[in-house]
Structure 1
């Protein structure tokens, strides 16, 4: 969504430090729920389940465990600080517990998962889908 991209750029412009990475928090949906949602809106064309194909992933990683450890939750976004540590390891003596990774990555599998109804609502927020539905309605009346 173009508006969300502009919002992210403006938010980053206002809150970023050099080298920061911004990740927008996002809802996720299974491909099955997405198919059902699209068919609810545009008509049932049937679904063929073909299974996982070579190279397909179960989920997308949006932020690794290492990035998540140095991230800051800023409401609708995560800000991941640049890793600006000095590479001269002789300077460091580590005492106590060392944390190099968070418990989990931030992925499409562990973010807020939309059901079919939630996916329909999300799809309806896009101007493209709204226009397509209006065109379909106009064609039915003609």
Structure 2
């Protein structure tokens, strides 16, 4: 048995690396990163999303790498109402939400949008724990 500690990076196959990097940087607040060989990615926290152009795939790759086939969930500390306002100001269409969902660590409230390649992007915030009523004296 092996133990997996965390996700280090994901790879998204995209039609246009510049367009994808711009979306993830300007809409979702990630930072652009460059690697040797003109390879690009975006990063946030301790994670990286490598952006591979469909026309120039880096081997080895997935069996059927195509733009628009991912479904990703990102967690934000921001109130969902602020996220909604930012998305609208960025001319990003909200597909669904806010809706209640279950994240890896419990209940979240989420919005769903699509990136320029059509990948489904869920932006969620963990719900505040319900306060226990104070005991009566």
TM-score (norm 1): 0.23
Higher RCO structure (Cα 8 Å, ≥6 apart): 1
Structure with more of its chain in helix, by fraction: 1
Larger Rg: 1
